[in-house]
Amino acid sequence: MNDWTSKWVAEKMKRHTEMRDVTLLSPQHVELIRKQYPTIVVGTTAVDRFDTSALTPFLDRQPNVSLRLGAKHGIPIGGLGDLMRAVSHPDVSQYVSKEVSFIERGLTQHTQVDTYERLDDPSYSQKLWNAGEKVAYLSG
C-alpha cells in the first residue's frame, strides 16, 4: 500500500494557484477544491504499471482524476504534471496531455491509418487501409 502518495499530492497541490483548499480523504484520495471550477476527487498511487490490481483501491470512491494519463475503466489516469495542468480546465476529464495530443494528431493525419483507438498508455489499436488491424506502442 502506498500510503504516502495522497499526502505528497496534497502538499504539491496546495501550492497551485487554482486551489482554494486541499483535503486528504483517505490514504489514496485527495479532494481538490478549486477556486473557479467544481471540486474534484483525485486518486493517488505509485505503481510501475497501472492495471486492474492498481485500480481496485479506487472503486470505493471513484476519483475524477487518477495519477499516471489515459483512460482505464472510465477513470482518467496521468502523472502529477498532468494533474497540475488539468485542474486549470473546467472539466478535468476532458484534459489531454501534449504527448497524447501529438500522437493522436499524427495518427489522424497519417494517410495509411483509417481509424484508431487508445487502449492504454501507450498502446493504440490502429485499423490501416488495406492492412487490417494492428496494435502499436507509441510515445511522444
Give residue-wise pLDDT tens across range 106-119.
Answer: 878 888 878 777 66
Cβ proximity of 130 and 140 under 8 Å: no
**Is 95 a residue whose pLDDT tops 90?**
no
Q: How confident is residue 31, by pLDDT bands cut at 50, 70 and 90?
A: very high
Tell me the average pLDDT across 73-87. 77
DSSP 93: G
Query: Given the C-alpha cell 504527448, which residue does it identify?
Result: 99
Which pLDDT belongs to residue 67? 41
Maximum separation of any 2 CA atoms in the chain, in Å: 54
Q: Give the pLDDT of residue 87.
A: 92
Residue 9: pLDDT above 80?
Answer: yes
CA proximity to 75, closest of 87, 99, 92: 92
d(CA 16, CA 14): 6
Q: Which has more pLDDT, 49 or 139?
A: 49
